[in-house]
Amino acid sequence: MKDTCCGKQENCCQNDTKIKTEIRVCVSRSCTSFGADSIMQKISEALQLEPGQTNEQFDLDYCGCLGYCSNSPNVLINQDHIIHDAAVDTVMSEIKKGGKELENRILDVENVDEKVNVHFDDYLEK
Ligand code: FES
């Protein structure tokens, strides 16, 4: 696999590019509290990769909050699939299955505004 494309022709190096599985373990507060370090250690041992390293098949690293804190710990696969409530014993099999497709991200403007308003109303009633 070439690290960089020569850039002389459109898609000239495309055939040399292998598809990698990108794995990101959330290490923001909630996921860390619910075992993100153990999850990363398990994945790291299984893939023989340290966080921040890649090989021909995998790209492993940490990431920030994914917006699914109530389902911590969370692992993001290829930017559009996620493993919620990741467990040390099953995380590698879940990665091999590819995780669940991301839908209805929590952190969009409408939902955040709605949650803030609900919280504020609750506060005023007390
Ligand atoms: S802290 Fe991990 S999803 Fe929010």
Read off the pLDDT of residues 63-105 as tens digits, 9 standing for 90 and up.
999 889 999 999 999 988 999 999 999 999 999 999 999 876 6
The pLDDT-based confidence of 7 (bands split at 50, 70, 90) is: low
Instruction: Confirm or reject: Cβ of 66 under 6 Å from ligand 1.
Output: yes
**Alpha carbons 11 and 27: distance in angstroms, whole number:** 35
Instruction: Confirm or reject: Cβ of 75 under 6 Å from ligand 1.
Output: no
* pLDDT higher than threshold 90 for residue 2: no
Ligand 1 centroid, distance to 47 Cα (angstroms)? 23
Mutate which of 24, 25, 28 for ligand 1? The one with the most ligand atoms within 8 Å of its CB, which is: 28
Domain locations in the chain as residue ranges: 14-125
**For the domain with range 14-125, which CATH number is right: 3.30.1330.60, 3.40.50.720, 3.40.30.10, 3.40.50.300?**
3.40.30.10
Provide the whole-model pTM. 0.71
| Element spanning 26, H or E | strand 21-26
Among the listed residues 20, 98, 3, the one whose alpha carbon sits nearest the alpha carbon of residue 55: 20
The lowest-confidence range among 4-18, 27-41, 77-91 is 4-18
Ligand 1 centroid, distance to 12 Cα (angstroms)? 39
